[in-house]
Structure 1
Amino acid sequence: MKIWVYVMALLAGIALSIEGAIYGVLGLSIGKLESSFYNFAIGTVIIGVILLFFGKGKLSYTKKAPKWQLSGGILGVIYLTILVYGIPYLGVGLTMISVIVGQMAMSMVIEHKGWLGSAKSTVSKEKILAVILMSVALLLVF
């Protein structure tokens, strides 16, 4: 078992909560859409520099890739912008629990159906129970 993958995913979750809190407050200072724009502008510059030194893929393939595969950028903008709007009203915890419940539920559907190139994985009682318990946690925190 590759425990480091779990640790990295846990760290990504920690980073998302910190990022959401930062951009939620920044949105109050400079504007909500401006906060989201700032995030993606700075991120583009940073990943662009990293790409120059470490990139090994074919960025030119994006012209040939199926268009649905390019929708992640749009979904990322929607996600971050919703966080910028939601966190000042709901708080970091409630917003992130809501995100996690949505992620868990949709990931089960995606994996069960094998959508978007995902390996098929049947929905188990344990997975359903996990979503139910997270939903209960959301209600308790609310």
Structure 2
Amino acid sequence: MKFWIYIVAVLAGMSLSIEGAIYGVLGQSVGKLESSFYNFAVGSVILGIVVLFLGKGSLSYAAKAPKWQLTGGVFGVIYLTILVIGVPLLGVGLTMISVIVGQMAMSMVIEHKGWLGSSKTPITKEKVMAVALMAIALLLVF
């Protein structure tokens, strides 16, 4: 079962590159912020319909949830808007590898500290080496 999660995660990563490329081009046509807004507007409508029919949680809990748990949307907007700006300037590959290096580095810190409800996992030399090699790859491609 765990193997399939890896496959799905790889497919999700692939879809993010496709999304970045699409919205990078759209940003040149309609405007960078407008492209990002369009993404979230369409995504909200689609997800709203899915939640309406398949949702099992409670949106009303959001009013009671700790405020830090509600900041994910802000980070999503920042992420997508930077993709819309970065893809036309750097290309899909450089933009995505930059994002991945940042994700890997920050995820190591979050897991090492046990922040944001994650379980504590120590930073190992292998993890540091993986991020360093990705950073070197970014420099080589750049």
User: TM bucket by the smaller chain?
Assistant: over 0.9
Provide the identity percentage: 75
1:44 partner amino acid: S
Q: 1:111 aligns to what SS in structure 2?
A: helix
Paired with 1:21 and 1:141, the residues of 2 have a C-alpha distance of 18
How far does the alpha carbon of each residue in 1:87-130 deviate from its partner, in whole angstroms, 9 at most, with x for none? Answer: 10000000000000000000000000000000000001100000
Return the TM-score normalized by structure 1: 0.99
> Please, what is the CA RMSD of the aligned residues?
0.6
Match of 2:2 in 1: 2
- Matched residue, 1:16: 16
User: Is residue 70 of structure 2 the alignment partner of residue 52 of structure 1?
Assistant: no
Q: Residue type of the partner of 1:90?
A: L
Q: How much does 1:136 deviate?
A: 0.5
Q: Which runs of 5+ in 1 are unaligned?
A: none
CA distance, structure 1, for counterparts of residue 80 and residue 126 of structure 2: 30
What does residue range 36-75 of structure 1 map to in structure 2 within 5 Å? 36-75=36-75
Instruction: Extract unaligned runs of 5+ from structure 2.
Output: none
CA distance in 1, matches of 2:25, 2:108: 32
Kindly indicate whether residue 98 of structure 2 is the aligned counterpart of residue 98 of structure 1. yes
CA distance in 1, matches of 2:110, 2:33: 30
Runs of 4+ in 1 over 6 A off after TM superposition: none
CA deviation profile, 1:65-91 (whole Å, cap 9, x unmatched)? 000000000000000000001110000
Measure the CA separation in 1 of the matches of 2:117 and 2:89: 36
Count residues with an aligned counterpart: 142
CA distance in 1, matches of 2:135, 2:75: 23
Superposed displacement of residue 139, structure 1: 0.4
SS at match of 1:65: coil
The answer on 1:125 being equivalent to 2:130 is no
3-state secondary structure, aligned to 1:56? coil
